[in-house]
A = this chain, B = another copy of it.
Amino acid sequence: MRIGELAARAGTTTRTLRYYESRGLLPARRDGNGHRTYDESDLRLLRQIRTLQDFGFDLEETRPFVECLRAGHPEGDSCPAALVVYRRKLAELDALIGQLTSVRETVAGQLARAERARDELAVEALVPGGPEPLCELGGQER
């Protein structure tokens, strides 16, 4: 199979495959015309890469999985180096989720506070002789 077909079957692009090859991740054989040639096992390697990429793994982090598959293992994650990557990524995810959750709470709190302040201003605006609004504080959306 040539590069276009492999790309289509993996749901990616030829540019991506050439990029992987340039990084030494997915080398290709060549036919008489100099065209890249792939087989079904390359498709499996590529699918492994793509899956990990979708999970947010860096390209370099997929290398142990690919090498594991290429070494003959039916699963890319059965080698120690892949397990190490799994564990590290798990820790990164936990840290990131924790940070994002913390930020989420902070932003939610700020939003609530700002909305309260806005509502109080709106009430004051109803009081005759109250302070003038400093800018347009009417519309909510858009």
Which of A93-142 touch B at CB < 8 Å? 93-94, 96-97, 100-101, 103-104, 106-108, 110-111, 113-115, 117-118, 121, 134-142
Please list the 4 inter-chain residue pairs (A to B) with the smallest Cβ-Cβ separation, ordered nearest first. A77-B114, A86-B111, A93-B104, A71-B135
Identify 29 residue pairs between A and B in the complex whose beta-carbon atoms are under 8 Å apart, listed by A's number: A56-B103, A71-B135, A73-B134, A73-B135, A75-B114, A75-B117, A77-B111, A77-B114, A78-B118, A78-B121, A78-B137, A79-B136, A80-B137, A80-B140, A83-B111, A83-B114, A83-B115, A83-B118, A84-B141, A86-B114, A87-B111, A90-B104, A90-B111, A93-B100, A93-B103, A93-B107, A94-B104, A96-B100, A97-B104
